Amino acid sequence: MADLTGSTFALVPSCGLCSGTGLPADAGRYVWDDGVWRLWTSTRGSVPGFSILMPKRHVPHITDLAGMEAATLGDVLGRTTRALREATGTQVVYLYVFGEGIAHLHIHLAPHRSDDALNSAMLRGRVSEEPLPSGATVLRSLDFPERPEHELNETADAIAKLLAEA
């Protein structure tokens, strides 16, 4: 059986999320902990239920997921987002992972209403929206040029190759 202990990752005292100093105490609180993951929910701001899901051990980035954190993330995401949706009466919960601030994996979970403060844009600047009959929308940047199609195909091929080897 695979080793699910993920023993590579210990707590890192200098990390704000490991030490518990990374989130302002007056802006929210921990509402759930299953021993592997914990959920912090904001109690200030303009988006009720805005939460941060994080592994209890120091997993730096989503690309470092291993062990119990990797084995349980799907169930935990389902459980936490269902609770957020039910508690707020929203239909969808946005997920954001940036990885450029605190180097301890944290997934922002944001219950979304159409008239709330959340930014639903994936692209910076001006964007054209082309609705498709399927209901999907193709977004194209008006401020950043499209990259050459061969470059995008080479990237897609590289991803497919890496995943086939994994």
The site for Zn ion (CB under 5 A) is made up of 12, 15, 17-18, 58, 104
The helix or strand, by DSSP H or E, that contains position 151, with its residue range, turns out to be helix 149-165
- Give 71 or 102: the residue with its C-beta nearer to Zn ion: 102
**CB 70 to Zn ion: min, Å:** 16
Taking phi first (over 0 means left), then psi (-120 to 50 degrees means alpha), and beta for anything else, what does residue 132 get? Answer: beta
**CB 98 to Zn ion: min, Å:** 15
- Give 4 or 12: the residue with its C-beta nearer to Zn ion: 12
**CB 15 to Zn ion: min, Å:** 3
The helix or strand, by DSSP H or E, that contains position 51, with its residue range, turns out to be strand 51-55
- Give 104 or 112: the residue with its C-beta nearer to Zn ion: 104
Cβ neighbour number for residue 88 with a 10 Å cutoff: 18
